[in-house]
Structure 1
């Protein structure tokens, strides 16, 4: 009877420790939420360490390329609205025959810009990806020999083409994903 209870208690102990670590990690994430600038500076420093590791080790270009593609994908999701106006335009076109866009006049419905990928999730996913990539640079199995200038040129072309498409989409449906020039209200501004 003791032999049966021992694996269950060992499993229970592992589960309890995993839950405890998960709660502590979530508490750290919750504490870091309001410190946007510091979070991004830390991520930037981690990215510099990663690039320095790749540069000085002269390898792991595939890992760097995969990280670049993943970060580009995250950035595009960060720039896009949660509810794509092009899909709504197609729906409106089918219903009433007119193409819709975001409101531009006083009498149109106001819909605030909501990102498909919120800033905190963008930061968290980017930091986690950079950390994993940095760890991968310490294992020789990930050091696949490639001609790195081709990867750099391909990534630059991919970046330019996808950003051009994203900017055209932003212009066509008239949305700005950044809050540049947003009015700030203080106690005395009545």
Structure 2
């Protein structure tokens, strides 16, 4: 009996170590956004090649597309709905240039979006190896039309929502501010102020 308990404890320790090691390597990928999405695009390419090769499995693509659209809607939506924000607590999004800059907080972070989509692609590729998921009665053109209709309807709703509440979920590059430089009587001090103002922190 004690041997069984010791073996169970050893197995539990090994599984904890494997999960910890997996988490460490997963955390190392946080900063490598481009490489992460290139890996996911590779998985998508493999899935498409597999479905084209089988000439079946369009239902898997349909389910994956629906799931990805739901995640995309969460990724492009703010954490708190703008109508539910109290204007007195200072959390309202800025509406003009003179307002204080407040970052856009997503309902679903980029990393979680990538991680969930990547897992969905891996599961979809594995599903193509089981006959139960390969329905023969669905054809490719019908599924492609459905996918594009779903995408256009979802994106039009999200874009309307973004226009209505005046937010942009993407920020490309660093925001730069321009200001006037005051002249100084001391020339060395003026150069020092100029060098500080030119720095981008």
Where on the TM-score scale, by shorter chain, does this alignment land: which range?
0.7 to 0.9
Q: Give the match for residue 29 of structure 2.
A: 32
| Runs of 5+ consecutive residues of structure 2 not aligned to the other structure | 178-195
2:167 corresponds to 1:175: yes
1:152 aligns with 2:144: yes
Comparing 149-158 with 160-169, greater Cα deviation is found at 149-158
Partner of 2:154: 162
Q: Equivalent of 1:122, from 113, 120, 136?
A: 113
Partner of 1:81 in structure 2? 78
Tell me by how many angstroms 1:33 deviates: 1.2
TM-score by length of structure 1 reads 0.83
Instruction: Specify which of 96, 104, 110 is matched with residue 113 of structure 1.
Output: 104
> Any residues of structure 2 matched to 1:16-31 within 5 Å, and which?
16-31=13-28
What CA RMSD, in Å, does the superposition of the two structures yield over aligned residues? 2.4
Structure 1 residue 20 displacement after superposition:
1.1
Say yes or no: does 1:67 pair with 2:64. yes
Residues matched between the structures, number: 177
Q: State the Cα distance separating 1:103 from its structure 2 match.
A: 2.3
Alpha carbons of 1:86 and 1:156: their partners in 2 closer, same or farther (altered >3 Å)? farther
Mapped to 1, the partners of 2:49 and 2:106 lie a distance apart of 32
1:5 shift after superposition = 2.1
Query: Stretches of 4+ moved more than 4 A in 1?
Result: 106-110
Query: Match for residue 44 of structure 1?
Result: 41
The answer as to whether partners of 1:61 and 1:146 remain within 8 angstroms in 2 is no
Quote how far apart the aligned CAs of 1:109 are. 6.0
Report the alpha carbon displacement of residue 140 of structure 1 after superposing the two structures with TM. Answer: 1.1
- Distance (Å, rounded) in 1 between the aligned partners of 2:29 and 2:173: 26
TM-score by length of 2: 0.78
Structure 1: stretches of 5+ with no match in the other structure: 96-100
Q: Deviations over 1:77-109 (max 9, x none)?
A: 111111121333xx77xx9xxxxx732146756
1:62–1:146 contact (8 Å) kept in structure 2: no
C-alpha spacing 1:180/1:110, structure 2 compared with 1 (3 Å):
closer
